[in-house]
Amino acid sequence: MPVGMPPLGGPVGRSRMRLSASGLVSWERCSRQWFHRTKQGLSGPVNPEMILGIIVEDALVSLLMEDPGDRGLDAKPCWIEWQEDSSKPNDGGGEEPESLEDIEKYLLARIPSTAAKVIELGAEKWKDAPFRSPERDWSEKSQDYVEALLQAGIELQLEEVEKCHAAGGGPYLSKWRENGDPHFVRSPRWCEEPRFPIPEKVPGNSLKLAAIKTSEENQAKDESEITWLEAWKIARPWVKDPRVWQPQRLYHPDGWAAGELDMLLRWKGKATVVDIKSGDGSSGWSTGLASQLRFYQWLYLRTRTEESLISEVEGVEGWYLGSKDRHEIDIWDSEELTQKDEELHSIWQAMTNADGDKETWPEANPSAWKGESVEETCKRCHARFICDFVSEELRQEGLFAVLPPRMKELSRQQVQENLQPREPASPISVIPNRVNVEGRISGKWGPMSNHFGEPVHGAVLSTGAKSSVVVEEMAPGTFLELKDLVDGNWLIKNAAPGVWRSSSRIYLDSRSSLVKPGEEDVEVTRIGLLPTRANVDGLVVSRRTAKGVRIDGKPWTMMTCHLWDGNRTIEVVVFGWGVTETFADITVGDRVLLTGAELGWRAGLPQLRISPRNSRIEVRSRDWKPIDELPDSIQ
């Protein structure tokens, strides 16, 4: 199956604590760039291609979910109908295709309105993006351009249909004719209900699919030649169903790697992994295709079970819609796959060990940009303004991109002087990192969901009758010994202090350790003096808004920004219930004084969280200009 559940717990969504295909590609491009972008979350500005690629993939997938002949040629595409009322589109009014040309005609008739919807959705996402490339605009993308991309994707899939027809339907024709799609996770179709990875979380259980009904095209055994409609249905790949809000991912059996496939061709009896690209393959970003697809090959094979209908990968391909090219990549053989087990695990361990201590950061080792120099890779890194590997010219160029107009003529030293923290803020570097605490551990629990919805283990640390604090894993599996710990007095070393909903917390990860009291002479922090809040003052150098739907169907919103005080950066996050107009309007280049922020942790790094009740935000707009007649103390 192309989807699964985390075997050892943990979030079903994206996690900074797992190795992914995109993370691997970024690591190989430059491990320091990976750290800033993925681990710290220091993302650069959005460009139109980023938005277009996601929506075009959904649009192409929606066309592959159609059944030619179910509806008239002039009927509205199912994808558009579904977005308008979120119900299953009505069928009827069409004629069964008798040739490949009939299928193509049906699909091409849906492309113009689908492309128009892509442009409409993209314009909305571009408008809502809080950090956009200043020299770019969504108007660069036309409906004609999108139509060409969708047509290229359709033609590439029709090549598969033609091969399937010529092969007599492949090895599963009889199974199809007996019971429909033989795969446990079927290829999504608009005429069937979607399959959710966690059906019991679907509101009202109305779409629970553990015992999905038999396919509508069931029929008795038939020895006749395969029809073109059968070839279309059999060759249809598994794709990410746009109706399914729950993550559709594969998870390594040991929990440390995960990936989300775009497409999986299965009609030959062996799998072909396909990744959809909206570009033409000429960009330097395309050099990561081989690593990305081979990672998917490795992950797919490592998640097979005895019940898997398909347990072999025949090929991996990148479909470049911009050039209508099918890029076939050589797959790893069995010996290479075995070697990759250890190699990929080592990379994941290095990623996990990187935290707030700069000594743990991976080295800056950029590879050369496609056909050019290493410098060209660094030019495309948003974090180059804080990287000690790049030239001073590139550092200054990166700094210029995030500075407000009033600072653009200043040197780095002058900028740092201007960013000296205002009262009551302190430098980011002095925010409490790790503490040692001592007390009695008891009342162990878990796994239970933390504030990110991740199942973690926890306990209570107490010192006397009234002083106690919750102790929990920073993320799933980061401190498994807590689960089986014997109740008693313990000294916790290198714990991460924090707060959640006004209550102190102690977070444990791989840097933390437990020893018996008195075994080591270390400075211990009293529970009542645990640092739980911070005041910071810095320049906004990154801004992001994320929206989605939880596994139970409820919407969520999270906004983040990164503050830089001239020396260090820190992530600031606010969740849906705490989002204010002030925070929503923050943009890169603003100066922010934040007081009373709650200290938290994410993937081993400190993170400040906005409390609607206790935090205060003062924003000096990037376009603010000093007034000459006012004294410096007021400026």
Q: Which residue has the higher pLDDT, 224 or 139?
A: 139
pLDDT at 14 (0 to 100): 58
Phi-psi region of 457 (alpha: psi -120 to 50; beta: other; left: phi over 0): beta
Give residue 202's pLDDT.
85
pLDDT surpasses 70 at 133: yes
Report which of residues 489 and 219 the model is more confident about: 489
pLDDT of residue 315: 97
Identify any residues that bridge with 569 across adjacent strands, giving them in sequence order.
564
pLDDT of residue 631: 54
Look up residue 112 and give its amino acid: P
Write down the residue that tokens 């050369």 correspond to: 368
Cα(460)–Cα(468) distance, integer angstroms: 7
pLDDT score, position 311: 83
User: The dihedral of CA 141, 144, 147, 148: what is its sign?
Assistant: negative
424 pLDDT above the threshold of 50 = yes
Query: Which helix or strand (DSSP H or E) is residue 158 part of?
Result: helix 143-166
pLDDT at residue 591, as a whole number: 97
Q: What is the pTM of this model?
A: 0.90
Q: Which CATH superfamily is domain 433-529 in?
A: Nucleic acid-binding proteins (2.40.50.140)
Q: What is the mean pLDDT of residues 147-156?
A: 98
Say whether the peptide bond before residue 237 is cis (omega within 30 degrees of 0). no
Which three-class secondary structure string do you get for 75-108?
CCCHHHHHHHHCCCCCCEECCCCCCHHHHHHHHH
Most confident of 13-17, 405-409, 478-482: 405-409
Q: Rounded distance, CA 593 to CA 624, Å?
A: 15
pLDDT digit string, tens, across residues 192-219: 999 888 888 887 654 444 334 444 554 5
pLDDT at 417: 95
Whether 131 shows a pLDDT value over 50: the answer reads yes
Provide the mean pLDDT of the chain: 89
Q: Above 50 in pLDDT, residue 499?
A: yes
Other C-beta atoms lying within 10 Å of the C-beta of residue 550: 14
Question: Between 445 and 157, where is the model more confident?
Answer: 157
How large a percentage of the chain has pLDDT more than 90?
68
The length of the chain in residues reads: 635
Query: ∠ at Cα 354 (351, 355), nearest 5°?
Result: 135
What per-residue string of b and e applies to 556-566 under the rule 16 or more CB within 10 Å gives b? eebbbbbbbbb
Residues 6 or more apart whose Cβ sits within 8 Å of residue 258:
6, 15, 18, 19, 20, 249, 250, 251, 252, 299
Structural tokens at position 102: 């009939």
Question: Tokens standing for 141?
Answer: 């993308």
Omega cis (within 30) before 447 = yes
Domain boundaries defined on the chain: 21-334, 433-529
SS3 state at 10: coil
Q: Return the exposure string of 436-455: e unless at least 16 CB atoms fall within 10 Å of the residue's CB, then b.
A: bbbbbbeebebbeebeeebb
Instruction: State the pLDDT confidence band at 629, using cuts at 50, 70 and 90.
Output: low
pLDDT at 462 over 50: yes
DSSP string across 494-532: EEEEEEETTEEEEEE-TT-EEE-TTSS------GGG---
Radius of gyration of the chain (CA): 27
Q: How confident is the model over 274-291, as pLDDT tens digits?
A: 999 999 999 899 999 999
pLDDT at 266: 96
Over range 209-231, report the average pLDDT.
Answer: 65
Band (pLDDT 50/70/90 cuts) for residue 359 is confident
Reply yes or no on whether the pLDDT at 5 is more than 80. Answer: no
| pLDDT for the residue numbered 87 | 62
Residue 561 has pLDDT above 90, yes or no: yes
Residue 511 vs residue 619, higher pLDDT: 619
pLDDT tens-place string over residues 22-66: 999 999 999 999 999 999 999 999 999 999 999 999 999 999 999
Mean predicted confidence (pLDDT) in 121-132: 96
Coil, strand or helix: which one is 244?
Answer: coil
pLDDT of residue 209: 44
> Which DSSP letter does residue 559 get?
E
Q: Pairing mode, if any, of strands 503-508 and 468-473?
A: parallel
Contact criterion met (CB below 8 Å) for 608 and 572: yes
Q: Which amino acid is at 160?
A: E
